[in-house]
Amino acid sequence: MRSSTPPWNGWIGLIIEDYWSRLETFRRLSTSCCIISNWKGHPKPHDSHKTASGIPGAIQLLIRYGVWLKKVLLRVLTMTLLGMAVGTCVALLAVGFVEVVEWSNEILLISPRSRMIEGDTVWLTTATIAVPTIGGLLVGLLCLLIPERRPHGPPDAIQAAQSLDGAMPVKAGAVSALAAGISLGAGASVGQYGPLAHIGASVGSWLSRAFGNSRYLGTIGIGCGAAAAIATAFNAPIAGLVFAHEVILRHYSLRAFAPISVAATLGYLVANFAFDRQPLFRVEKFAIVSPYEFLGFILIGVAGAVLATVFMKAVLYAAKLAKSLALPAPFKPALAGLMVGIVALQIPEVLGIGKEVLRFAIIENTFTAYELVLILIAKLILTAMCLGFGFAGGIFSPGLLIGILFGTLVGYGVDAVFFDQRSHIALYAICGMVAVTSPVIGAPLTTILIVFELTRNYDLATAAMVSVAFANLVGYRIFGRSLFDIQLHMRNFDLSLGRDKVIIERRRVGDFVSDDFTRAAADTSLQSVRDSLLHTGRTVAYAVDDQGLYLGMLSINQLMELGVKEVAIARIEDYATPGPLILSPDDSLWDAMVKLEDFVGESIPVVDEGRLIGVVFEASIVRAYLKALNEIRSEENAAA
């Protein structure tokens, strides 16, 4: 495990090294002066202003202050520069990624504008089917380059941050970004915000290594990258900051807060001023007409949680279905792309992330109720199929679109009840958007802040808050915290009981095996074993045969009860018992702790393929658990 102490002698320290060298020169000069003074016969051993070494106390105090000040300045400087570097790089990459996707959509006849101006109907039909299919095949081939044979996404960033590692693989991140660009450019029904968050987290992890090999720097770098990506994508710096803490890091340490804030702010500045990126949608200053509408917002929250659960379960089912298909891996996303193309011939709104559909859905009477239902169902099924069959992309954007379509439908229903007392349809649409999206990604605060930063509308943010509250309350009960957590759980990375369980599960019993025990060979007499236990003060000996295979344990109480004749002639294997507990070196420390609940004894034998390789002490397991807790708490409560 890497040390948690940052290597402050890296290249960042050169920026203020001049200050430190001057302080060192001053210290050496003062020491030399004191030595010369003593050599001349003028020592003052009882001078209260000098230390035992002869250096005046004020100077030593100044030196100690200088050392402390150097560490503080270097930490502040490192954190600031890390946030600035990650925020700028991620913002530029995010803008470039979105521009390339939009350009691809135009030339490949995916965007509504390019489809409208294309005059060749035959070519449009051919491209509609061929482009997603070929795109799926390319993505499937690219995924063969990734060790897990799947594109990486936000769950992988969460796993890296929560495992106290902070290191994300370069190759898998680069290939996943390319696969996501191809997926989105080819019109697959996936989202762009998940890939952007993963790209940002990966870049943050990579750049943090230039600032030192500290574990916590890598984790903070991941948070900075994710925050900058969301801030750039949504023009919402506060939402980006909260997203990094709420979804990725899952804590709010002061040490991480400052650099992540810097990264999110720079992402916003690059998107808003350097490139003048337009927000996802614009909403006028609508107000809530009737207080009774809050009942509708609650209904949207509850029903939105149910819809979000159906959506997430559809994604998981599609992934399970894809594994059962007897097709080569690259052809599975191609099959999903083919289905997207076929459906798009009748419902072109399912192509891509559906940004135009999302914007038009918040305008009164743009779509009929039938069209809303049709697009919603098609988008839900095709998104689940694309993600489950191997396309690289996120679930955030499809969740936004499905939620807005759902909220607009509810608004139409409310219109039949309240008539002219119903607020603008955009208010219901956005409540539906956050009610579906928030349970999917497990980020209630982030979704509320996105609404507030995009609209600057307090009434709308209040209505969204009510829907989000009930959506998360119901969604957590019927599904779980988020789709990301369920996907990690399926990879044996369970965050439901906290980070300490995750860390302990990743540590193996074999790392704590000790050879400090009494071994009793098969040809050893029981008298010798008893004498050895009495001499060492141990209470248990572990018996093995000639091949080192574990036979069982012999307790001192058991041996003391034997008579002289039994001790002299009895064989070890006749008295060795398996014992109450045996561990394997591959057992996790968490499993060992669970097994230790009812254990009473000195140590536990560790057996590998029948051979005794050592013992593990209960105290060693407890110390490892406490050490993991201390590491987690020190990271979560770090102030600087």
Domain CATH number, residue 461:
1.10.3080.10
Are the C-beta atoms of 227 and 243 separated by less than 8 Å?
Answer: yes
Are the C-beta atoms of 10 and 211 separated by less than 8 Å?
Answer: yes
Residue 256, pLDDT above cutoff 90: no
Strand pairing partners for 541? 518, 554
**Residue 11: per-residue pLDDT:** 46
- Verify that 160 and 260 share a domain, yes or no: yes
- Verify that 495 and 587 share a domain, yes or no: no
**Residue 563: per-residue pLDDT:** 67
Residue 371, pLDDT above cutoff 60: yes
Edge to edge, the sheet with strand 550-555 lists 518-521, 540-544, 550-555
Rg (CA), the chain: 32
Report the pLDDT averaged over residues 303-320: 96
- Verify that 481 and 623 share a domain, yes or no: no
Selection from 347, 11, 29, 464 nearest residue 212 by Cα:
11
Which tokens belong to 576?
Answer: 């060795």
Q: What average pLDDT is seen over the chain? A: 83
Report the pLDDT averaged over residues 203-221: 84
Beta strands in 269-347 (DSSP E): none
pLDDT tens for each residue of 479-521? 988 999 999 988 888 887 777 777 888 788 888 888 888 888 8
**Residue 2: per-residue pLDDT:** 41
Distance CA 163, CA 503 (A): 6
- Verify that 492 and 377 share a domain, yes or no: yes
Residue 252, pLDDT above cutoff 70: yes
Residue 418, pLDDT above cutoff 80: no
- Of 242, 274, 306, the residue that ends a domain is 274
- Verify that 492 and 510 share a domain, yes or no: no
Distance CA 608, CA 583 (A): 8
Domain presence at residue 112: yes
**Residue 570: per-residue pLDDT:** 66
Residue 314, pLDDT above cutoff 50: yes
Residue 25, pLDDT above cutoff 60: no
Which tokens belong to 273?
Answer: 């001023």
CATH code for the domain of 530: 3.10.580.10
**Residue 35: per-residue pLDDT:** 39
Are the C-beta atoms of 136 and 338 separated by less than 8 Å?
Answer: yes
Distance CA 202, CA 213 (A): 15
Are the C-beta atoms of 402 and 307 separated by less than 8 Å?
Answer: yes
Count structural domains, the chain. 3
Domain presence at residue 22: no
Distance CA 298, CA 443 (A): 18
Q: Say if strands 518-521 and 540-544 run parallel, antiparallel, or are unpaired.
A: parallel
Domain presence at residue 4: no
Selection from 551, 570, 552 nearest residue 561 by Cα:
570
Calculated CA dihedral for residues 160, 401, 106, 227, nearest 10 degrees: -30
Q: What is the pTM of this model?
A: 0.79
Q: Report which of residues 123 and 69 the model is more confident about.
A: 123
Domain presence at residue 286: no
- Verify that 324 and 384 share a domain, yes or no: yes
The DSSP string of 38-85 is HHTT---TT-TTB-TTS-BHHHHHHHHHHHHHHHHHHHHHHHHHHHHH
Domain presence at residue 281: no
**Residue 638: per-residue pLDDT:** 65
Which positions ≥6 away from 363 have C-beta within 8 Å?
425, 426
Report the pLDDT averaged over residues 542-546: 84
- Verify that 497 and 525 share a domain, yes or no: no
- Verify that 362 and 319 share a domain, yes or no: yes
**Residue 579: per-residue pLDDT:** 76
pLDDT tens for each residue of 79-110? 888 899 999 999 999 999 999 999 999 999 99
**Residue 55: per-residue pLDDT:** 55
Distance CA 3, CA 8 (A): 13
Where does the pLDDT of residue 33 fall: very low under 50, low under 70, confident under 90, or very high at 90 and above? Answer: very low
Domain presence at residue 16: no
**Residue 42: per-residue pLDDT:** 45
Residue 37, pLDDT above cutoff 70: no
Where does the pLDDT of residue 214 fall: very low under 50, low under 70, confident under 90, or very high at 90 and above? Answer: confident
- Of 503, 537, 560, the residue that ends a domain is 503
**Residue 155: per-residue pLDDT:** 93
**Residue 7: per-residue pLDDT:** 43
Residue 228, pLDDT above cutoff 60: yes
Polymer length of the chain: 640
- Verify that 517 and 571 share a domain, yes or no: yes
Distance CA 227, CA 256 (A): 11
Which tokens belong to 554?
Answer: 């012999």
Domain ranges, residue 318: 293-503
Half-sphere exposure of 240 (CA within 13 A, CB side): 37
Domain presence at residue 634: no
Please state which of the ranges 108-112, 165-169, 279-283 shows the lowest mean pLDDT.
279-283
Give the rounded percent of residues in the chain with a pLDDT score beyond 70: 87
Report the pLDDT averaged over residues 414-418: 71
pLDDT tens for each residue of 607-638? 888 888 888 888 888 888 888 888 777 777 76
**Residue 49: per-residue pLDDT:** 47
Q: Report which of residues 53 and 385 the model is more confident about.
A: 385
- Of 503, 529, 563, the residue that ends a domain is 503
Q: Report which of residues 293 and 29 the model is more confident about.
A: 293
Give, in degrees to the nearest 5, the angle at Cα 198 between 195 and 204: 140
- Verify that 482 and 567 share a domain, yes or no: no
Domain presence at residue 605: yes
**Residue 85: per-residue pLDDT:** 93
**Residue 580: per-residue pLDDT:** 79
Report the pLDDT averaged over residues 44-54: 47
Selection from 581, 570, 487 nearest residue 148 by Cα:
487
- Verify that 421 and 555 share a domain, yes or no: no
- Verify that 498 and 511 share a domain, yes or no: no
